[in-house]
Amino acid sequence: MGSMQEGLDCDVLDRLYDRREFLGIVLDPPDFRPGSWIGAGKAIYDQARGEFILTARPRRAENRVRGYAANIYGSKTGMEYRPVATLSKADVSRIAGMEIHSIEGTQLLRNPDDARWHLFLSVDTGGEFVWGGVEWETLLLTGDSLTGPWNSHGIVIPNDREFDSSQSRDATVDVIDGTWYCIYKAKNSSREERPALATSEDGVDFEKRGTMTIDGEDRLAFLSGTIFPSNNGPVLVGLETKLSDSRKRSPDVVYADDHGIGHGGGPPSNFVAYRLRADRLDLQTVVRVPWTPLSPYERPDHPLLGYSSLLIDPHEDRLLMYVESIDPQYTKAMGLNETVERVLAYGIAL
């Protein structure tokens, strides 16, 4: 598959949620202290290597470390992952020629035209250190090998429009019929977050199409998952996190500083499947179901952070779904420097 995902039959979409099966823990955080995370990545199956590839960013709160690397893992089974390569925050800053305070969402794909790797990184490019970051953009690195060397194409999704003037980050990127689709989190100057769409013909130069509606309605939400081809056009399958006004503090969240950037304290995510109508900048609902955990590694009240990635398992008739969970044993409170997060795997029969 590489960057080209196999197609889904739309007739199965409304049955996917009920066919979930918890498979196990895939990645643990760097440690189990408050504010330690792993996740925010992408999973693919690479035919050239004959293995599953998974990316993740590790994060620590201690000593103001934050998201300190982009890690790449490989697996023959989709469950037992081993380290393949890592790019530290210092590495990325040096390659890109800019100061980066933190790394968040990561997306790794092969270019179907030349087989080069494209690694998209959400990076905090703000002018000062802020817990959680205020200004985020999307950086692109490319290379012939997962172990490098990597070349920087600079910021390919900048925060240069009003609708994403604060943040253009945490993208879901997939290639369908030669078009690179990028659904990303766009935050405006009022700190309102909406899904936005950008497209590209080469995976480097992206055209911003604008913010997207959901069923024709303007909705504050974060979407994360995988965009599959289907018999009814591109379909996004993954998670939707409903968002509220981020300027209002919640009594249920421990804030790290005066900027009031919360973390993990909102309502549970929804499992969703949306038809992508790029011509209308609209997502049409096929499935939207509140996520309920099937494992002891997800808090009942706040099971998931919102990052997810899916792929069709080439060995079995199923989807593999990777989610970033908020662990109930080690997480005592919601907040940037309070939660402990793992990567879990679910299997979904097709």
Question: So where are the chain's domains?
Answer: 10-349
What pLDDT does residue 50 have? 97
More confident call, 181 vs 128: 181
Torsion angles phi and psi, residue 139, rounded to 5: -100, 145
Read off the pLDDT of each residue in 180-195 and give the average, rounded to a whole number.
Answer: 96
What pLDDT does residue 244 have? 59
Tell me the pLDDT tens digit for each residue of 30-70: 999 999 999 999 999 999 999 999 999 999 999 999 999 99
Report the amino acid identity of residue 267.
P
What pLDDT does residue 226 have? 98
- pLDDT tops 50 at residue 85: yes
What pLDDT does residue 2 have? 37
Tell me the pLDDT tens digit for each residue of 337-348: 999 999 999 999
What's the pLDDT band for 242 if we cut at 50, 70, 90?
confident
- pLDDT tops 60 at residue 296: yes
| Fold entry, domain 10-349 | Tachylectin-2; Chain A (2.115.10)
Percent of the chain with pLDDT over 90: 89
Runs of H (alpha helix) within the chain: 89-96
Residues 6 or more apart in contact with residue 163 via CB below 8 angstroms? 186, 188, 194, 196, 210, 211
Query: Distance between CA atoms of 337 and 35, rounded to whole angstroms?
Result: 4
What pLDDT does residue 247 have? 61
What pLDDT does residue 250 have? 81
Q: What's the pTM value of the predicted model, to 2 decimals?
A: 0.97
What pLDDT does residue 243 have? 72
Q: Residues 53, 73: contact at Cβ < 8 Å? A: yes
Read off the pLDDT of each residue in 140-162 and give the average, rounded to a whole number.
Answer: 98
Range with the poorest average pLDDT among 1-15, 100-114, 290-304: 1-15
What pLDDT does residue 148 have? 96
Tell me the pLDDT tens digit for each residue of 248-291: 688 889 999 988 888 987 888 999 999 999 999 999 999 999 99
Query: Distance between CA atoms of 325 and 342, rounded to whole angstroms?
Result: 5
Query: Distance between CA atoms of 97 and 91, rounded to whole angstroms?
Result: 10
What pLDDT does residue 314 have? 96
Query: Distance between CA atoms of 281 and 163, rounded to whole angstroms?
Result: 14
Average pLDDT in the chain = 95
Tell me the pLDDT tens digit for each residue of 3-39: 346 789 888 999 999 999 999 999 999 999 999 999 9
Q: What stretches of 12-68 adopt beta strand conformation (E)?
A: 20-27, 43-46, 51-56, 59-60, 66-67
What pLDDT does residue 6 have? 74
What pLDDT does residue 58 have? 98
Q: What angle do CA 6, 7, 10 make, to 5 degrees?
A: 155
